[in-house]
Structure 1
Amino acid sequence: MAARMFSRSVTSLIILSAVASPSFAGGLERGGYNIDQLFDTSQFSVQTGMIYVNPQRKLNNARDVDPTDGTVRGSTSADETEPYYIPYAGLKAGVGDADCLLDYSEPFGAHTNPGANWVGAQSQIETEIKSRNYGATCSYRFDVGPGQFRVIGGGFYQHIEGFRTRLVAPLPFPLSAAFDGTGRLDLEDNGWGWRAGVAYEIPEYAFRASLVYNSRVDYDNLTGTVDLTQVPGAVSPGNPFFGRVTPVKGSAEAPDSLELKLQSGIAPDWLAFGSVKWMNWSLLQSVQFCPTNGLPCPAGGLTSLDLHYRDGWTITGGLGHKFTDKWAGAVSLTWDRGTSQGYGSQTDSWTVGVGAAYTPTENIEWRVAGAVGVLTSGSSGTVTSGGITYGNDVTYSFGNDLVAALSTSLKVKF
C-alpha cells in the first residue's frame, strides 16, 4: 500500500536528471524529440527551457594520410568541439480525455571546429548544422483496467541548415598572400514528419509506460552552394569549379526513432524511471552534392558530408524523490552507444545527471539539472564501406574526454 501514498507531483522528475544526456548523444542528436509535457496532469501548461552543453573532445596524433594532394603543415592536435545551447518551448491544453501539445525544439545539430591550423584541415576546418522543429501532438485517454490507455499521434515541420569549410588546396607563395585555399559548402532544406504511440498510466501508483515512434524526415531537396572563390583557377586550369560559386543539390534523411519510457512509484514519494531509445543513424553515410548549373558531377560529388554512422542506442535509468511539498530531486545514469565505425570521434558515452524541482505554488514549477559525462577514447582512420572510402585524408586518436551540461526550465500550469 506504500505506493498508493506516492505524490504524483514528483512524476515530472523523469525529465530533470536525464534531460541533458541526449544533448550530446551520438549522430547529430541535440534536443531530440520530447513530448513529456503532453502527460502534464494540469488542464493547461506553458513551459520554456534551455540546455547548455560543453563537450571537450580533443583530437591527438593527427597525421596527413595523403601528402600527394598537398602537404598540410600544422598542429597534430586540435580541440574539435564547441559549446552550444538548445532551447525548448511548449504549450499544452487538455479538454476532457483529450490532450494536445504544440512545441518548438531543436532535435538535431552539430558544431565541430578544429580550425585551420591542424594537419587535418583538408578533412574539415569547421562544420555546423542547425535544425528547427515545430510539432503538434495529441492524445486521447480511455479507461482500461485499473488505469488509462492513451493513443498518441501528431506531426512536425522541420527546417535544417548548415555549412562546412575545409582546406581544398594548400597554396604556395605568392598565391597564399591573396587566397587561403579553402572551400565552403552551405545547405538548407525542410521537410515533414509524423509520430504515433501508445501509453498506459495508473496515476494511483505513478505508473506510466509509453512507446512512441517518430518518422523519418526526407530532405530530398538539400540545396546550397559550394564556394571555391578562395581557390584560384591557376591551381588547376582545367577545373571548372575553382574560383567560383557553384549551386549544388543533394538528399538525405533525418532518422526515425523508437523510444520506450517507464516509470513507477516504488515507495512513498519515491519514483524509479528508465528509457530505451533507438535512432536509425545508419541512414546517414555519405551525403553527396552535385552541381545544378549543367556542369557534370565529379565522382563522389563536387563535395560531400561523410558521416558513416551506425544506429544509436541510448539507455537511461534513475530515481526521483520528493523531499518536501516544494522540493524534489532526481539522479540518473545514461549510456549512449557511439555512432562512429572507425571513422569520426563519436564513441560511447556514460553520463550521470542530477536535477531538482522547486514548486513555490501549485501553478509554478522551476527545474534545474546538470550532467557530467565521459566521452570514451578511440581513433579515426581510413575505412571503406559500400564502395566509399572514409578518412583517407587524416587519421587521429582521442582519449577519454569530459562533457558537461546544465539545463533550466520554467513551467506555468493552471
Structure 2
Amino acid sequence: MKKMLMGATALAMVGGASYAGGIDRSGQGVNILFEEGNFAQITFVTVNPNVDAVPGGPISATPSAFDVAQNYADFSLGYKHEVNDKLDLAIIYDNPFGAHVDYGTTGGFLDGGLADVETNALTALAQYQLGNGFSVHGGLRLMEVDGIINNALGELDISSDFDLGGVVGVAYEKPEIALRVALTYNSSISADLSGTRAERDGSNPQARTATVDFPESINLDFQTGVAPNTLVFGSVRYVPFEGVNLTTVDGQWVNFQDDITTYNLGIARRINDKLSLAVRFGFEDEGTKPTNTALSPSTGSKSITLAGTYQLSEHLSLSGGVTYAKLGDQFLNLPSPPLPAGSRYDYRDSDAIGVGLRIGIQF
C-alpha cells in the first residue's frame, strides 16, 4: 500500500510545482529517499500556460492581445539505494528553475522580447536513521544554466558550467500510522555565467560575464494516515527570490521583487490492490503589482491536481497526474516616453495545465 500511495502523492506534488513562483520548476523534492528498498523513477512533466498580454491605457487599440507564455517540459530521473537498515543513498537529476516567455512579432512595444532559460541539476543524497523514527539527510547539488534573454538591453546569450550547492534535512516517521514529516534546506547556488550580448537583431556580439545567485529554499513535506488505506499529505515551500537578479555592464536584465511561498494539501486513497488515487490543492500568495519585468507576467496561483498510480506488477508502477492552475493577474507599466503616459500591458485571465507521468521501479 505504501508504495502505491507514494506514487500518487509524488505525481500530485510534481504537478503542483510545475508553475510555482514563475521560474520555480521541480520543487527540489527529496521524497525518493522514503521509498521502500531500492527504487528508480523516471518522471516527465509538460506544462501549457496561457498568459495574454492586453495593451491598456493610450495603447489599448493596438496591438491586440497575445499569449506570451510558452509551453515547456521538464524531465527527471532518480535512483535510491538501500545500503543497510541505517543508510540510504540517492541520486536525482532534475530541472530546478526555468523561464519560457516570448512576446513574438506582435508589432507592440515589447516586440521580440523573450526569455528561454533552462537549468540542469544533479543531486547526490544520503539518509541516516538515528533511531526512534528520526533520520537526517543531506548531500551536494551541481547545477548548470543555459539561456537567452532579449529585451530593451539587447540579446543576452549566456551559460554556466556546473556550480555547487548543498542540501541538509531532518525527518520523523511513525510507520504504523503512515506519519512522516521532513524538513529540507537547499542552499543557494552562485552561477558564474559567460556568453555574449548582441543587438536585439543578433548583430555586433560582445563578450559578457555575470553572476546569478539562485536562491536558497526550505521544503516542509508531511503525510499521515487518517483512515485505512487513506493518507493526507502536503507541503510548504519557501523560496526567497527577492533581490535575485542578472546584471551585466549593460544594465539589469532581470530582478525579482518577491519571496515565494507555495502551499499544497491533498488526500490519497488506495482503491484496490492495483489502483491508488490522489487529489491535491495548491495556493501561492500574490506578489508585488505592477511587475518590474516583462518576463514575469503573472503572480500567485490557485491549483488543483488529480493523480493516480497503477501497479503494473509487483515491481513496476505507472503514475499520472493532471494539474489545472489559475494564475494571478499582473500588469506592467510601459516607459513614458517613448510611449504616452499611462501605457501598460495587463496580464489577466491566465491559467496553466500541467500533465505528469512517472514510471517507478522497485528492486
Q: Give the C-alpha shift of residue 76 in structure 1.
A: 4.4
Residues 8, 369 of structure 1: CA spacing in aligned structure 2 closer, same or farther, 3 A cutoff? closer
Indicate which of 34, 42, 45 corresponds to 1:51.
Answer: 45
| Cα drift, residue 303 of structure 1 | 4.2
Check 1:7–1:413 CA distance in 2 against 1; reply closer, same or farther (3 A cut): closer
What corresponds to 2:140 in structure 1?
155
3-state SS, counterpart of residue 16 of structure 1? helix
Give the whole-Å Cα distance in 2 for the aligned partners of 1:141 and 1:342.
48
Cα shift at 1:136: 0.2
8 Å CA contact retained: 1:269, 1:321: yes
The answer for the alignment partner of 1:33 in structure 2 is 28
CA distance in 2: counterparts of 1:163 and 1:104, whole angstroms: 22
2:305 corresponds in structure 1 to: 353
Could you give the per-residue CA deviations for residues 155-210 of structure 1, whole angstroms, max 9, x where no partner exists? 11000010012467xxxxxxxxxxxxxx4210111311001000001111111000
Aligned residue identity for 1:327: L
CA distance, structure 1, for counterparts of residue 314 and residue 352 of structure 2: 35
> What is the CA–CA distance in structure 2 between the aligned matches of 1:47 and 1:309, rounded to whole Å?
35
The answer as to whether partners of 2:315 and 2:362 remain within 8 angstroms in 1 is yes
Q: For residue 306 of structure 1, report the CA deviation from its aligned partner.
A: 2.5
Counterpart Cα distance in 2 of 1:226 and 1:394? 28
Q: Does 1:20 align with 2:5?
A: no
Letter in 2 for 1:193: G
Aligned residue number for residue 132 of structure 1: 120
- Distance change >3 Å, CA 260–CA 229, structure 1 → 2: closer
Higher gyration radius (CA): 1
| Residue 229 to residue 35, structure 1, CA distance change in 2 (3 Å) | closer
- State the TM-score, normalizing by the size of structure 2: 0.90
The equivalent residue for 1:174 is none
Normalised to the residue count of structure 1, the TM-score between the two structures is: 0.80
Q: CA deviation at 1:99?
A: 0.6
TM superposition outliers: structure 1 runs of 4+ over 3 Å? 6-9, 62-65, 338-341
Shift of 1:151: 0.5
Give me the whole-angstrom Cα distance separating, in 2, the residues matched to 1:102 and 1:404.
Answer: 29
1:288 alignment partner in structure 2: 247
Unaligned runs of 5+ in 1: 1-5, 66-72, 169-182, 232-242, 291-301, 384-391
Contact 2:334/2:345 (8 A) holds in 1: no
Return closer, same or farther for 1:222/1:341 CA change in 2, 3 Å cut-off. Answer: farther
Alpha-carbon distance between aligned partners in 2 of 1:135 and 1:7, rounded to the nearest angstrom:
25
Residues 1:215 and 2:163 aligned together: no
Question: Offset of 1:340 from its aligned partner?
Answer: 4.7
Deviation, structure 1 residue 16: 2.2
| Matched residue, 1:410 | 359
> Distance in 2 between the 1:211 and 1:351 partners?
23
Q: CA deviation at 1:102?
A: 0.7
SS state at 1:309 partner: coil
Alpha-carbon distance between aligned partners in 2 of 1:38 and 1:263, rounded to the nearest angstrom: 15
Identity among equivalent positions (%) equals 23
Q: Does 1:263 align with 2:223?
A: yes
1:139–1:152 contact (8 Å) kept in structure 2: yes
Which of residues 57, 67, 71 is equivalent to 1:79? Answer: 67
Matches within 5 A, 1:264-279: 264-279=224-239
Structure 1 CA distance for aligned equivalents of residues 301 and 58 of structure 2: 28
8 Å CA contact 2:9–2:307 kept in 1: the answer is no
Which segment is superposed worse, 128-137 or 333-342?
Answer: 333-342
Change (3 A) 1:338 1:132: farther
> CA contact under 8 A between 2:281 and 2:302: conserved in structure 1?
yes
Q: Is residue 316 of structure 1 aligned with residue 304 of structure 2?
A: no
Question: Does structure 1 residue 401 correspond to structure 2 residue 353?
Answer: no
Is the contact made by 2:4 and 2:310 (CA closer than 8 Å) also made in structure 1? no
Aligned-residue RMSD, C-alpha: 2.3
Give the drift of 1:395: 2.3
Contact 1:61 1:76 in 2 (8 A): yes
Looking at structure 2, the residues matched to 395 and 250 of structure 1 have their Cα atoms a distance apart, in angstroms, of 30
The equivalent residue for 1:185 is 156
Q: Contact 2:4 / 2:275 at 8 angstroms: preserved in 1? A: no
